[in-house]
Amino acid sequence: MKILVIGNGGREHAIIKSIKKNKNVNKIYAIAGNGGIAEDAVTVNMDVKDVKAVSEWAKENAIDFCVVAPDDPLVLGAVDLLEEKGIPCFGPNKNAAIIEGSKIFSKNLMKKYGIPTAEYETFSELQPALDYLEKASMPIVIKADGLALGKGVIIAENLQDAKEAVTSMMQDKVFGASGSRVVIEEFLTGPEVSVLSFTDGKTLVPMISSMDHKRALDNDKGLNTGGMGTVAPNPYYTEEVAKECMEKIFLPTMDAMNKEGRTFKGCLYFGLMLTPKGPKVIEYNCRFGDPETQVVLPLLKTDLLDIMIAVANEKLGDIKVEFMNKSACCVIMASDGYPSSYKKGYEITFNTDKDGVFVAGAVLKDGKLLTSGGRVLGVTAVEDTLEKAIESAYKKTEKISFENAYYRKDIGQRALKAYGER
Ligand code: AMP
Ligand code: GLY
């Protein structure tokens, strides 16, 4: 089989390394891929957002199955175009990807179908939003409606910050058209859990739970990033919580999308907060999380491509999806300064094998791997316990070096503490 994976980050590298294990696969292409992915797939330099050109390339190159990993091409309808050309895909159609593409859509969906989430109001004009804030209690959460590279959420501690956030989105258009409409919602508290799931619209199978570390600095300080590290499973996600989420959130979401005529097929990501009033949805994503994928897939026992093909054929119910009874930890090595400005172009040296190393921001030049992004790579270790997984991941991280490298030293510590409290 000839497989095409669309995307160019650490998540895609993890997907490719898993797909490579399938015996029926003889060639994997990646659009656009990166310098690290180039060691595991043939990379093709194209813009992932040019979904028309990507689908034409896939047709010309007789691709048998395509995995569309990032939100942008999914929301732009890459799967629709590929399927029109007869290429089966893993990933939702455009009309289902809206669950991530529009926060107003997803909030209204949850309200309509009674799925627990933060109380909210939506606004398409600046003045009514500002008036609303005058009466609201702080802190409060302001979200741009559309995609904003994971940066479209602002938690405002006071009225002035809240007004500035709304004005920057709606008037100054810091997120472009994505911020022309906003959601203003209640500030929730509690541990966060990421649950990725496979679904074909008939069956929904949650993957092993995980915990992201979104802030740039140790002890959850500093700016929000795409994610500085992950662990799986997430200790807060007990069997009891999992049962409640399945009944009140996961299956109702799948059913709601079916009722709306927007059947979701692919990976549906639930960003949850375990509040004192029970689990609530913070966000939906229409794709695998990054860097959640880098801890979830290494724990998957069942063949990934078999699952993906079953999802595409609406036969997920025929497959038994199993995870190892182990723990994983992924440490992200970034360029110092990320998520603000940083230098790049430094050579990466490995004094270790590359098992569990997922490259996100690096290019190959004259046979050398050079840093090219904020998040450079993720280092994942799988062990019997979380404690050992953390230790192994850091040991390996220390054997990889490049100038200006930065990584958090406390990935997994919050989870370890939670195990201690249980
Ligand atoms: P998102 O980009 O939607 O994942 O949001 C980024 C982060 O903002 C989340 O991981 C949460 O930590 C936080 N957040 C989002 N919505 C809320 C909320 N309603 N209450 C508290 N924190 C939130
Ligand atoms: N790690 C969060 C996300 O992928 O959205």
Contact (CB, 8 A) for 227 and 212: yes
Kindly tell me if the per-residue pLDDT of 6 is higher than 80: yes
Please state the atom number of ligand 1 nearest to the C-alpha of residue 143.
Answer: 3
Q: Which residue minimizes the CA distance to atom 8 of ligand 1?
A: 153
Q: Where are the alpha helices (DSSP H) in 222-334?
A: 239-245, 251-259, 293-296, 304-312
* Residue 148 binned pLDDT confidence (cut-offs 50, 70, 90): confident
Q: How far is the CA of 336 from the centre of ligand 1 (A)?
A: 24
* pTM of the shown model: 0.96
How confident is the model over 162-202, as pLDDT tens digits?
999 999 999 999 898 888 999 999 999 999 999 999 999 99
Q: What is the pLDDT of residue 393?
A: 98
Q: What is the pLDDT of residue 216?
A: 96
Average pLDDT over residues 343-353: 97
Q: Which helix (H) or strand (E) holds 271?
A: strand 266-275
Q: Which residue minimizes the CA distance to atom 4 of ligand 2?
A: 289
Ligand 1 near 283 CB (within 6 A): yes
Q: What is the pLDDT of residue 179?
A: 87
- Return d(Cα 14, Cα 299) in angstroms, integer: 11
How confident is the model over 104-134, as pLDDT tens digits?
999 999 999 999 999 999 999 999 999 999 9
Kindly tell me if the per-residue pLDDT of 28 is higher than 90: yes
Q: Which residue minimizes the CA distance to atom 5 of ligand 1?
A: 153
How confident is the model over 210-228, as pLDDT tens digits?
999 999 999 999 988 999 9
How confident is the model over 357-381, as pLDDT tens digits?
999 999 999 999 999 999 999 999 9
Kindly tell me if the per-residue pLDDT of 408 is higher than 90: yes
Q: Please calculate the CA angle 21-22-23 and round it to the nearest 5 degrees.
A: 110
Contact (CB, 8 A) for 335 and 344: yes
Average pLDDT over residues 72-90: 98
**201: which DSSP letter?**
S
Q: Which ligand is nearest to the CA of 229?
A: 2
* Residue 149 binned pLDDT confidence (cut-offs 50, 70, 90): confident
Q: Which position has the higher pLDDT, 151 or 128? A: 128
How confident is the model over 285-302, as pLDDT tens digits?
999 999 999 999 999 999
Ligand 2 near 289 CB (within 6 A): yes
Q: Which helix (H) or strand (E) holds 159?
A: helix 159-170
Report the mean per-residue pLDDT for the chain.
Answer: 96
Kindly tell me if the per-residue pLDDT of 277 is higher than 90: yes
Q: Among 153, 228, 236, 277, say which to mutate for ligand 1: greatest number of ligand atoms within 8 Å of CB.
A: 153
Look at residue 251 and give its three-state secondary structure: helix
Q: How far is the CA of 134 from the centre of ligand 2 (A)?
A: 32
Token pair belonging to 243: 């049962």
Q: Which residue minimizes the CA distance to atom 3 of ligand 2?
A: 289
Q: Which helix (H) or strand (E) holds 156?
A: strand 153-156
How confident is the model over 228-243, as pLDDT tens digits?
999 999 999 999 999 9
* Residue 152 binned pLDDT confidence (cut-offs 50, 70, 90): confident
Q: Which residue minimizes the CA distance to atom 5 of ligand 2?
A: 289
- Return d(Cα 155, Cα 192) in angstroms, integer: 15
From the centroid of its chain, how far is CA 171? 29
Percent of the chain with pLDDT over 70: 100
Q: Which residue minimizes the CA distance to atom 11 of ligand 1?
A: 282
